């Protein structure tokens, strides 16, 4: 029998704050009632703030981020359209597979798992497209499988430098509400998210932000759609209603989660994720393990994928953590299966929760056969967290300091 709380350290679904759980405990509600838009219209406008958009529309589809992927494709593109996509992780690979199944011609760029989106190769292919046959570029902002964040602004700059008119699709599922996202400033046309990660709600809603350019493209796109049709959603959504039954408790939870984000302040939310992520990364260094992300500039602030020694099966680390310590870590996906595990540090999280994750990971890694100095990773993260406090930064902690502490301080 497992006792105590379940420790959830996967990159989604994430921990649901108590305030959000309480907000969802509502009686059945008439989603056609005259006062229903008092809930929904504020959610739509506040989501636009989180996406960093001005003009355009936000739509909520019962489902997941995958459903929002499909809505974005089928409403703005036609079968036979040529699109450019990079495959450098599990979720970018799934998106490319969906595009092919929906009849698009995918110009696929293969990149290493651990690398960010290959901006220069995208620019090369767009520059060679003299006839304007490429209709869209797809980018995964934060590849959850590898813990890699790509530079969306650089992709848009490359597109503009080629004077190319393609739409820019971005998967923001594991970035929105956790790391900076500026849809309007970056020139993003369609941005996909879900309710279960940085927005701190249970899974069940696919969220799609659509630019005016993409709304115009939807008027001539020829893909079949029914449930995901923009025109049905917009016809009722602008008045705060849905063309079908929405997940009303989830909407109340989303209202509470948006309030939490704005109470903390989006910039403070981003800074907290950066601080916690850096603590985890320093712990991995102290363990002597390797981070999958190939260089520091692309390491994600929402999830760290840890490549373990080849003599150890990372799946055993996950199993031991689950069975002995009631803790969940993310599995390695695709070619990383058995070779890596992931620690999610996204959503409603603080320093104590990260330190617990690192301590439990050390126990599980040691039992799985890795040589780990107990406390090394925890100490490295502790020193990093402590050094964020101005009073401690003025001290001289490097004197007579254990090795793990020196790693963090340096």
Q: In this structure, are 63 and 172 located in the same domain?
A: yes
Q: In this structure, are 272 and 254 located in the same domain?
A: no
- 13 in any annotated domain: no
Alpha-carbon separation of residue 290 from 9, 251, 287, 316 (angstroms): 19, 40, 9, 18
Side-chain-side CA neighbours of 91 within 13 Å: the count stands at 26
246 closest CA partner among 54, 42, 1, 36: 36
Q: In this structure, are 241 and 314 located in the same domain?
A: no
Show which of 229, 262, 295 is a domain's final residue.
Answer: 262
Q: In this structure, are 329 and 356 located in the same domain?
A: yes
Q: In this structure, are 175 and 281 located in the same domain?
A: no
Residue 232: enclosing H or E segment and its boundaries? helix 230-237
For residues 109 and 84, the answer to whether their CB atoms sit within 8 Å is: yes
- 9 in any annotated domain: no
- Give the model's pLDDT for residue 400: 46
Show which of 262, 279, 299 is a domain's final residue.
Answer: 262
Q: In this structure, are 61 and 80 located in the same domain?
A: yes
- 5 in any annotated domain: no
Query: What distance in Å separates the CA atoms of residue 305 and residue 9, rounded to the nearest whole number?
Result: 12
Length of the chain (residues) = 410
Q: In this structure, are 236 and 294 located in the same domain?
A: no
Share of the chain above pLDDT 70, in %: 95
- 8 in any annotated domain: no
Q: In this structure, are 257 and 118 located in the same domain?
A: yes
Average pLDDT estimate for 236-264: 97
Task: Please give the structure tokens belonging to residue 350.
Answer: 């603080």
Average pLDDT estimate for 71-77: 98
Average pLDDT estimate for 358-376: 97
- Give the model's pLDDT for residue 60: 98
Q: In this structure, are 316 and 201 located in the same domain?
A: no
pLDDT tens digits, 266-278: 999 999 999 999 9
CATH number for the domain harbouring residue 397:
3.90.1150.10
Q: In this structure, are 60 and 182 located in the same domain?
A: yes
Any idea what the Cα angle at residue 351 is, between residues 389 and 402, rounded to 5°? 70
Show which of 228, 262, 296 is a domain's final residue.
Answer: 262
- 119 in any annotated domain: yes
Q: In this structure, are 73 and 171 located in the same domain?
A: yes
- 2 in any annotated domain: no
Q: Residue 392: is its pLDDT beyond 70?
A: no
Q: In this structure, are 218 and 273 located in the same domain?
A: no
- Of 192-196, 332-336, 383-387, 390-394, the one with minimum mean pLDDT is 390-394
Q: How many CB atoms lie within 10 A of CB 100?
A: 14
Alpha-carbon separation of residue 186 from 162, 182, 225 (angstroms): 16, 6, 28
Query: What distance in Å separates the CA atoms of residue 357 and residue 281, rounded to the nearest whole number?
Result: 12
For residues 166 and 76, the answer to whether their CB atoms sit within 8 Å is: no
- Give the model's pLDDT for residue 391: 61
CATH number for the domain harbouring residue 159:
3.40.640.10
Q: Which domain holds residue 180?
A: 18-262
Q: Residue 408: is its pLDDT beyond 70?
A: no
Q: Which residue has the tokens 């003299």?
A: 130
Pairing, β 7-9 against β 327-331: parallel
If you write DSSP's letter for every residue of 110-170 in order, what string do you get? E--TT----HHHHHHHHHT-TT--EEEEEEESEETTTTEE--HHHHHHHHHHTT---EEEE
- 184 in any annotated domain: yes
- 53 in any annotated domain: yes
pLDDT tens digits, 282-299: 999 999 999 999 999 999
Q: How many domains does one find in the chain?
A: 2
């Amino acid at each position: 029998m497992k006792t105590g709380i379940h420790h959830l350290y996967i990159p989604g679904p994430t921990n649901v704050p108590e305030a959000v759980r309480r907000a969802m405990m509502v009686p059945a509600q008439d989603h056609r009632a005259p006062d229903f838009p008092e809930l929904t219209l504020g959610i739509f406008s506040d989501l636009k703030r989180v996406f960093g958009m001005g003009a355009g529309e936000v739509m909520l589809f019962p489902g997941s981020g995958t459903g929002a992927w499909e809505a974005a494709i089928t409403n703005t593109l036609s079968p036979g359209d040529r699109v450019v996509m990079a495959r450098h992780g599990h979720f970018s690979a799934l998106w490319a597979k969906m595009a092919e199944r929906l009849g698009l011609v995918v110009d696929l760029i293969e990149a290493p798992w651990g690398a960010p989106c290959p901006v220069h190769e995208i620019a090369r292919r767009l520059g060679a497209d003299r006839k304007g046959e490429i209709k869209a570029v797809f980018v995964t902002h934060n590849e959850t499988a590898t813990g890699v964040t790509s530079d969306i602004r650089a992709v848009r700059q490359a597109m503009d430098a080629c004077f190319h008119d393609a739409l820019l699709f971005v998967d923001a599922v594991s970035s929105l509400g956790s790391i900076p996202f500026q849809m309007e400033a970056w020139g993003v046309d369609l941005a996909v998210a879900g309710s279960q990660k940085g927005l701190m709600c249970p899974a069940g809603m696919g969220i799609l932000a659509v630019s005016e350019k993409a709304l115009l493209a939807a008027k001539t796109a020829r893909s079949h759609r029914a449930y995901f049709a923009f025109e049905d959603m917009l016809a009722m959504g602008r008045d705060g209603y849905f063309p079908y039954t929405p997940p009303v408790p989830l909407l109340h939870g989303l209202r509470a989660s948006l309030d939490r984000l704005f109470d903390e302040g989006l910039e403070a939310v981003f800074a907290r994720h950066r601080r916690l992520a850096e603590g985890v990364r320093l712990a991995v260094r102290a363990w002597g393990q390797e981070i999958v992300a190939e260089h520091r500039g692309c390491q994600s602030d929402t999830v760290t994928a840890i490549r373990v020694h080849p003599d150890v099966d990372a799946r055993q680390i996950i199993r031991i953590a689950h069975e002995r310590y009631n803790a969940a870590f993310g599995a390695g996906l695709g070619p990383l299966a058995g070779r890596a595990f992931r620690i999610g540090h996204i959503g409603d999280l603080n320093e104590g929760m990260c330190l617990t994750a690192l301590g439990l990971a050390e126990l599980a890694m040691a039992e799985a056969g890795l040589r780990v100095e107990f406390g090394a990773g925890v100490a490295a993260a502790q020193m990093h967290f402590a050094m964020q406090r101005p009073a401690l930064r003025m001290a001289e902690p490097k004197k007579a300091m254990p090795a793990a502490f020196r790693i963090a301080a340096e």
